[in-house]
A = this chain, B = another copy of it.
Amino acid sequence: MSDVHPVLIAGEWRAAASSGTFRGENPASGEALPDVFPISAWSDCDAALDAAVEAAEALRTTAPETIARFLTRFAERLEVRASELVDAAHVETGLARKPRLADVELPRTTGQLRQGAAAAIEGSWSLPTIDTKLGIRSMLAPIGPVWVFGPNNFPFAFNSVSGGDFVAAIASGNPVIAKANSSHPNTTRLLGEEAFAALRESELHPSTVQLLYRTSHDDGARAVADPRTGATGYTGSRGAGLTLKAAADAAGKPIYLELSSVNPVVILPGAIAERGDALAGELVGSCLMGTGQFCTNPSLVVLFESEQTEGFLESIRQRLDATPPTPLLSRAVARSLGASVAELRRAGAEVVTGGSAIEGPGFHHANTLLRVSGRQFLAEPHALQTEAFGNVSLAVVVRGADEALAVLTHLEGNLTGCIYSDTRGADDAVYARLEAPLRQRVGRLLNDKMPTGVAVSPAMNHGGPYPSTGHPGFTAVGIPASLRRFAALHSYDNVRAARLPALLRDANPGGRAWRLVDGQWTRADVPTNGA
């Protein structure tokens, strides 16, 4: 089996202890791809965990500058290899080379790596807190080896070996064991090669980054619950995520999940009256972005019954019909999308346009709009929130504000929620009624803007109430907040000055980190008599 790609464990590319192999598939053509990847047996996980424990220990005394050098070198290397990376991702995901992969996702990925580098050096992410009167000091500190399970839909920006969780875990001082998404193993391999090269150049511990391509489900659950594991970041389907969550929870291991979300968008009557045509274009653009395979895709649109709404729906239909469907990410996504549409239809959704898969080659589904009345939604609110991951959206047409309110109070937790209203105040009274129930059910509330863009901002929340994530207090995107997921709170009580971590000593190293000193945020040193 010399043609099976090796895995990256303990600082070397080595043959996997393999229980089988798999190959990627080109979703645009349906053809199997030539590269063969191993399914690792438990002994690979076990070896990676041992090596990660060593790396975690080394990282505790590694200067943040070294971590930052690695992240920066990694970003630079990705830019050098951009065209090969874009080609590989295009073949494995069907996503467009340009603008999506080359001009949007890769720059976002290298931007995240550089932001992570800056955050590691600056140090404020760890919320250093100093109580000079009581002699107690605290900060967030690395939690230990982090497993990252990446999703299928962002081969660079959320990749287990280069994406948001990876950056957050490394920048906060932890080693990562990456589990590739099985739908783009070759892209992940190329990213892993660059990570490995950057590790050597920066002289970070060689086991800081490790990569497995695939494991059994049982081994995945065992890995996140292993005593050597610090925490886990997972982005993907609800079913697999909840299995991992159950295992991690039972072992008391933090796990941060990004699961499913239908991202309700409420478009109030005044907004349609004012700018319906522009909104139809905006909505369709957002719905079809990445063939609808965004975590924040607007899959549930609440509209108010009226003639204007019928015109709005017709405008959406025309735009969907006029746009050639782009490929879905994989055979599995196509299968799951078909099942979701069937479930939505069973629960009463009618097809406005599309509604079925398109014959091969490759995996395509017609751009689809479904609709259901508010009353019918309220009769089957659970089924009608089935996530249809792909280019399918459901319009819920309600009879008025009361019914809209009822629909919103039946929503599960979501990543985002959005309300469009007119600019002259005609919708303000309805907005005021709908805002609170929606606010409580989403991580990010938007006005007059589609949810698909997820800016890397300190104020971003790419998170939300269960079941969109596992805990509503954390965000997967946004630096420095996303780093805090991979940390334990360390308090130092009466610890002698020379034994404190650098960030908690009186002198603020480099004066870079914001520290909460006796209730005041400051970058200044603590006066020596204050200690």
Residue positions of A touching B, CB distance < 8 A: 57, 60, 129-131, 134, 136-138, 140, 143-144, 245-246, 249-254, 413, 416, 431, 435-436, 439-440, 443-449, 451, 455, 457-461, 463, 465-467, 470-475, 481, 484-485, 487-496, 499, 514, 516, 519-522
Given contacts A137-B459, A472-B489, contact A449 B129 (CB under 8 A): no
Residues of the B chain whose Cβ atoms lie less than 8 Å from the Cβ of A246: 249-250
Question: Which of the listed residues A134, A457, A499 has the most CB atoms from chain B within 10 Å of its own CB?
Answer: A457
Report chain B residues within 8 Å CB of A516: 458
Can you tell how many copies of this chain the complex includes? Answer: 2
5 A-B pairs besides A460-B493, A473-B485 with CB distance below 8 A are A444-B492, A445-B490, A447-B495, A455-B493, A521-B521
Query: Are B445 and A493 interface neighbours, CB within 8 A?
Result: yes
Are B134 and A493 within 8 A (Cβ)?
A: no
Chain B, residue nearest A136 (CB): B459
Please determine whether A475 and B489 come into contact, CB atoms closer than 8 angstroms.
yes
- For A493, give its contact among B136, B446, B465, B484 (CB under 8 Å): B446
Distance between Cα atoms of A459 and B526 in the complex (Å)? 15
CB of A249 to closest CB in B, whole Å: 4
In the complex, the answer to whether A455 meets B136 with C-beta atoms within 8 Å is: yes
Cα(A386)–Cα(B440), bound, Å: 42
Separation in Å of the A342 CB from the closest CB of chain B? 26
Give every chain B residue within 8 A of A138 (Cβ-Cβ).
458-461
Known: A457-B134, A461-B138, A473-B140. A252 touches B466 (CB 8 A): yes
Across-interface contacts of A520 in B (CB, < 8 A): 514
Contact B254 A448 (CB under 8 A): no
Q: Return the contact of A496 from the options B447, B460, B494 (Cβ within 8 A).
A: B447
Give A470 to B255 CA distance when docked, in angstroms: 12
> B residues within 8 A CB of A447?
493-496, 499
Instruction: Compute how far the CA of A242 lies from the CA of B254 in the bound complex, rounded to whole angstroms.
Output: 15
Which residues of chain B come closer than 8 Å to A490, judged between CB atoms?
Answer: 439, 443, 445, 461
